[in-house]
Amino acid sequence: MNNTIKNAVTLTVSLSAAVIAVNAAAQTEITVATVNNGHMIEMQKLTPIFEKANPDIKVKWVTLEEGVLRQNVTQDIANKSGLYDVMTIGMYEAPIWGERGWLQAVDTSGNYDKADILPSIRDGLSYKGTMYASPFYGESSMVMYRKDLVEAAGMEMNDRDSWDHIRDVAAAVNDPSKGIYGICLRGKAGWGDNMAFMTTMANSFGARWFDENWKPQLESNEWKTAVNFYVNLVNKYGPPGSSSNSFNESLALFNEGKCGMWIDATIAASFVTDPKQSKVADQVGFAQSPISVTEKGANWLWSWALGIPVATKNVDAAQKFVRWATSKEYIQLVGNTNGWAAVPTGTRSSTYANPKFQKAAVFAEAELKAINSANPNDSTLKPSPYVGVQFAAIPEFQAIGTTAGQMVSGALAGSMSVDQALKNANRAADRQMRQAGYY
Amino acid sequence: MTLNQQRKLKTLVTGLFAWTVALVLFFPIFWMFITSFKTELQAISIPPALFFEPTVDNFRVVQERSDYVHHALNSVITSFGSTIIALIIAIPAAYSMAFFPGKRTKDILLWMLSTKMLPAVGVLVPIYILCRDYGLLDSRTALVIIFTLMNLPIVVWMLFSYFKDLPKEILEAARMDGATPWDEVVKVVLPLSVGAISSTALLSIVLCWNEAFWSLNLTASDAAPLTAMIASYSSPEGLFWAKLSAASTLACAPIVIFGWFCQKQLVQGLTFGAVK
């Protein structure tokens, strides 16, 4: 009797252990690091559908603030820690990390339809023709303006207006006594904050970050003219405290009806036309970014993309997830689930060709035009050695761009002259480039 | 003005000043709390919306998106765990330095305090690599070790300050009765210092609970405490203040309630040795 009980217990324990072991071995867990953007949160919500279709994969999410995400994923990938299996990276990181061999090449085989991805976005995420990250959503920059205010001021807005015209419209619309400011622009220091906008503006004035020999060009006349124009424009017709405003602050002002114009990321179009978020949703018009002497580099190009570090132990599961999240089918899924105005844009031609999307997104045409006109390989009037529109895709740029951003923000706040700011920024950039061995 | 009136006026002015300071200090917490009940548009409206229809939608979103219990459990385990270990190390250390000071005791104490002056980011890379090599990334163990080391100087200092004010005669009397050093600590020093130890523990728990730098750098999902959960609600492109406020309110609530119940010990601990 005792032996029978013993055997039964042994059998039960062995079977349970075997079942647990089989389950544990069957399910691969992948960790995805991402930022807290609307589209990313939606992806998180829809992940159970992916898990249902792939019962052998479980997805864990780590959502971080953008700065912290950059620091964490850089730390992880550079040290080959393997903490994350999929990471959200930008167009700045993808080619640099791809060149260093830190990222897996994107698996574009089968029905992934690489040709459907917008060419400028695909190029921006590639190094020597190989894609190292899959675009989840893409964006450029454009003008968003209040049709009612512009009309009431007797002015007109067109695609590719000149900066002088933009200034005139801002002056006509500006009415601080009613809490309306002519134009809202980024002023907060940072290579991805004020310098993203400032670089596109400077590009259109004919400026470039570096010459063919990688010598910084921030003291050139083109940069001086552009930054002086920007500082005068914002100080005269911008909201008070602009030197601490970036995307979110300007979005809040625009949605509150306090900006006549706002030039920023195309992704903002879906927010400012959403009546749940914006008090002026039905009064917003769109136009291509303004220019001065050239159209080259006048609007930026950016993409949040999913990359797979080489240190991951779950390459296959990670590839499967990335292919799903950046596929045409995923966009279809979001469209059917949340409506076509909410789909991640700026990645695939098929999205813009979809009549349902065209009907739902009033900004679709302007956004596509902006993205298609941005060329990261040819963004300056004079020749330049770098790739990128609003940044130079070299590791040193983050530090150089942020220092320049602090100087320009200082000039905007009136703590130094534009000439002094550009001199300081150029000196810092020169030191950085020398130390890095560019010359 | 009579002496009595002068006294009343002084009390009134002091009271008003104290209330003003308290309100100024409390205002950000109050604002965070009411913002958590606003819509995103109300949260950013200028001038700020003071009267509005409250919504609990932000709390629902936080509950849906984040595993609050998981993060809260990590916060409890790491803050209480590290505090217990810190006390186990600090009590004998403070006892020996308070009752048997050597030539270098003061230097050791100063050196311990000086480690708090080192910016954490200065040792981030070596600690990150150590954690990676020992498989401690995204583990509660790593956070418990780091938090223990981080708060040990403060814990030792606080206990040392209290122990050195204990009358030495009590210990001498215990020794006369044949008490060993272990007996002295367990049967004499500890019972006399319950207040000091609990206030030190409380302070250490609060410091660990609020720690963000190491939590964000060394964890991903499994060991991420509440501070990491709050950080996930900041957005580079999109309005987030109301949801962030709801996440912060949920993260602060346990420690604020805990502190509320223990405020007597906390104040006592922070002021011991201040008045002779």
Residue A368 lies in a domain: no
Query: Across the interface, which of A37, A61, A277 has its CB nearest the CB of B236?
Result: A37
A21 shares its domain with A166: no
**A352 has a pLDDT exceeding 90:** yes
Angstrom distance (rounded) from CA B271 to CA B48: 39
Q: Based on the domain organization, do A382 and A419 belong to the same domain? A: yes
Q: How many domains is chain A built from?
A: 2
Residues A263 and A164 in one domain: yes
pLDDT digits (tens, 9 = 90+) for A243-253: 988 898 898 89
A157 and A40 inside one domain: no
Q: Taking residues A140-161, what's their average pLDDT? A: 96
- Please report whether residue A370 resides in a domain: no
Residue A180 and residue A280: Cα distance in Å, rounded? Answer: 13
- What pLDDT is stored for residue B4 in this prediction? 85
Lowest mean pLDDT among A47-56, A257-266, A336-345: A336-345
| Minimal C-alpha gap between A331 and chain B (Å) | 20
Is residue A66 a contact partner of residue A35, using CB atoms and an 8 Å limit?
A: yes
Phi-psi region of B273 (alpha: psi -120 to 50; beta: other; left: phi over 0): left
Q: Do B128 and A79 touch (CB under 8 A)?
A: yes
Taken in order of first residue, the domains within chain B and their CATH numbers are 61-271 (1.10.3720.10)
In this prediction, residue A306 carries a pLDDT of 96
Q: Is the pLDDT of residue A21 over 70?
A: no
- Asked if A411 and A286 sit in the same domain, the reply is yes
CATH code of the domain covering residue A338 = 3.40.190.10
Q: ipTM of the predicted structure?
A: 0.74
Give the per-residue pLDDT at B195: 84
Structure tokens at B226: 């509440």
Same domain, A80 and A221: no
Q: Which of B39, B123, B138, B237 to mutate to test the interface with A (most CBs of A within 10 A)?
A: B237
Q: Residue A184 falls within a domain, yes or no?
A: yes
Q: Is B106 on the interface with A (CB under 8 A)?
A: no
CB-CB under 8 Å, B220 with A33: yes
Same domain membership, residue A209 and residue A77: no
**Same domain for A233 and A160:** yes
**Residue B76 to residue B226: CA distance in whole angstroms:** 9
Q: State how far residue B239 is from chain A, nearest Cα, in angstroms.
A: 6
CB atoms within 10 A of CB B116: 13
Q: Which two tokens stand for residue B241?
A: 């203040």
Which of A70, A76, A81, A262 is the best residue to mutate to test the B interface, defined by the most B CB atoms within 10 Å of its own CB?
A81
| Domain residue limits at A20 | 2-138+303-360
Out of A205-214, A320-329, B231-240, least confident range = B231-240
Give A312's pLDDT tier (boundaries 50, 70, 90): very high
Length of chain A counted residue by residue? 439
pLDDT at residue A138, as a whole number: 93
Tell me the residue type at B13.
V
Buried b (16+ CB within 10 A) or exposed e, B231-261: bbbbbbbbbbbbbbbbbbbbbbeebeeebee
**Candidates A79, A251, A253; nearest CB to B129:** A79
Query: What pTM did the predictor assign?
Result: 0.81
**Which chain B residues have a beta carbon less than 8 Å from that of A281?**
none
Q: Provide the token pair at A388.
A: 């990128």
Name the residue in chain A with its Cα closest to that of B243.
A36
Residues of chain B with pLDDT under 70: 268-276
Distances (CA, A) of A239 to A181, A236, A254, A365, A435: 6, 9, 11, 29, 39
Q: How sure is the predictor about A67, in pLDDT bands with cuts at 50, 70 and 90?
A: confident
Which among A274, A282, A268 is positioned nearest to A345, based on CA atoms? A268
- Identify the CA nearest to B210 among candidates B68, B75, B110, B115: B75
pLDDT band at A163 (very low <50, low <70, confident <90, very high): very high
> Residue A61: inside a domain, yes or no?
yes
Residue at A276 is within a domain? yes
Kindly state whether B45 is in contact with chain A, defined as any CB-CB distance less than 8 angstroms: yes
Instruction: In whole angstroms, give the CA distance from residue B63 to residue B50.
Output: 26
The pLDDT of residue A6: 56
Contacts (Cβ under 8 Å, ≥6 apart) of A308: A85, A86, A87, A103, A104, A315, A318, A319, A322
The verdict on residue A294 lying in a domain is: yes
Out of A125-139, A217-231, B89-103, B250-264, which region has the weakest mean confidence (pLDDT)?
B250-264
Q: Please check whether residue A25 lies inside any domain of the structure.
A: yes
| A380 and A274 in a common domain | yes
pLDDT at position A3 is 56
Q: Using an 8 Å Cβ cutoff, are A121 and A371 in contact?
A: yes
**How many C-beta neighbours within 10 Å does residue A339 have?**
13
Average pLDDT over residues A308-328: 95
Pairing of strands A284-288, A134-146: antiparallel
pLDDT at A19 over 50: no
Position A172 pLDDT exceeds 90: yes
Phi/psi for B47 (5° steps) reads -65, 155
Q: Same domain for A174 and A116?
A: no
Same domain as A170, residue A61 = no
No. of helices (H) and no. of strands (E), chain B: 15, 0
Closest C-alpha among A362, A351, A233 to residue A292: A233
Claim to verify: residue A81 and residue A107 sit in the same structural domain:
yes
